[in-house]
Amino acid sequence: MSGMGRREFVALLGGAAAAWPLAARAQQSGKLPTIGYLGSGTPTSQRTWITAFVERLRELGWIEGRTITIVYRWAEGRPERFVEIAGEFVQLKVDVIFAVGTEAALAMKEATSVIPIVFPVAGDPVVTGLVGSLARPGGNVTGLSNQAIDLGRKRLEILREVLPGLSRLAIMANAAYAGGAPEIDEVRAATRKLGVELVPLEPRRTEEITPALEPLKDRVEALYVVGDPLMNLNRMRINTFALAARLPTMYVQREYVESGGLMSYGPNYPDLNRRAADYVDKILRGTKPGDIPVEQPTKFDLVINLITAKAIGVAIPSMLLARADEVIE
């Protein structure tokens, strides 16, 4: 052992073992590397997201049941479930936690500073304390932000193309959802500039949604919904109300429009989940999560439901229809 003492050699070996890719270590122990998948909603509400994630993993060589195990858990829109699931993942010693959404990722971060955590979507990850910075997340958490500058303003502009005389707009957001604050501020600033009056609704639980909506009848001309697991879970309920009240709705993602909403404009979530599979791949191959920068969305979708438009008696300008990524009719 010339030129190197035994102690240094052992220390070097220890360091090498620590830097070993997780996949190699898992295979060594005879079990497949395991992803703990925490969905904030239900398997049905996030089906397209899972598909995008699993298909991309497969392209990268991670095949469920063959080269990787995925343990799925669903919070079903109940944030208190996050803590239980986090505990379970830590006990199972999963290799990577895939946490869908700001609140889910925060709960996982509380539970472990060791297991790598990847989020495919999150509101402002710096403001909410998920990461130190976008360029250098540090710690054990990284992923993709679904925040894009000016989305609130753009959604408002689209609403005004449909309703040129828009003067009173209701905005509904889960008051308990931290990730929604930046969007609400943005919409507030945009309505102020345009001279549109904003009526805020702040339900925190399913039981509070209908009572929040009831007084809206004939008081506002449109409803803007800030997306979060609670709203997603109750999208049928919100749309049933909006259709009966003949209220045009603006949402953040297509799932709401598929279940009867009028329009949505926002990041393409399956695309974000697909890109997040690349993060999981890098981590399984040995990259530290804290070294992988948080990226922003690059694909945005405008989805319009013409069946709903006809039902509530709203005409969609042909220019807007031509710009839509998807038209449901």
pLDDT digits (tens, 9 = 90+) for 9-32: 444 444 444 445 666 655 556 789
Classify burial at 185, counting beta carbons within 10 Å of its beta carbon; exposed 0-12, middle 13-18, buried 19 or more. Answer: exposed
> How high is the pLDDT of residue 15?
46
- The larger pLDDT score, comparing residue 22 to residue 160, is at 160
The CATH classification of domain 151-267+301-328, taken from the options 3.40.50.11270, 3.90.1520.10, 3.40.50.2300, 3.40.50.970: 3.40.50.2300
Q: 């208190």: which residue's tokens? A: 80
DSSP codes, 184-239 = HHHHHHHHHHHT-EEEEE---SGGGHHHHHGGGTTT-SEEEE---HHHHHTHHHHH
> How high is the pLDDT of residue 76?
87
Query: Was domain 6-146+269-299 assigned CATH 3.40.50.2300?
Result: yes
> How high is the pLDDT of residue 108?
96
Using a cut of 0.75, tell me whether the model's pTM lies above it. yes
42 residue type, one letter: T
List, in order, residues 6 or more apart from 258 with CB less than 8 Å away: 303, 305, 328
Distance of alpha carbon 250 from alpha carbon 227, whole angstroms: 10
Nearest to 323 by CA among 293, 300, 290: 300
Count CA atoms within 13 Å of residue 53 on its CB side: 27
pLDDT in tens, 224-279: 999 888 898 899 999 999 999 999 999 999 889 999 999 999 999 899 999 999 99
> How high is the pLDDT of residue 230?
86
Distance of alpha carbon 131 from alpha carbon 244, whole angstroms: 43
Decide: 116 and 289 in contact? Cβ < 8 Å: yes
Model confidence at 289: pLDDT above 70 = yes
84 phi, psi to nearest 5 deg:
-60, -50
- The larger pLDDT score, comparing residue 179 to residue 131, is at 131
* Cβ neighbours, 10 Å, residue 226: 22
pLDDT in tens, 89-127: 999 999 999 999 888 999 999 999 999 999 999 888 998
> Is there a common fold for 6-146+269-299 and 151-267+301-328?
yes
Question: Across the strands, what pairs with 197?
Answer: 168
For the chain, the structural domain boundaries read: 6-146+269-299, 151-267+301-328
> How high is the pLDDT of residue 206?
92
Distance of alpha carbon 117 from alpha carbon 290, whole angstroms: 10
Decide: 87 and 68 in contact? Cβ < 8 Å: no
- The larger pLDDT score, comparing residue 143 to residue 217, is at 143
Own/partner pairs, 44-50, CB within 8 angstroms, 24+ separation: 45/232, 45/233, 45/255, 46/100, 48/269, 48/270, 49/100, 49/120, 49/269, 49/270, 49/273, 50/273
Token pair listed for 273: 């989940």
Distance of alpha carbon 243 from alpha carbon 221, whole angstroms: 13
In the sheet with 69-74, reading across from the earlier edge strand, the strands are 69-74, 34-39, 96-99, 117-119, 141-143
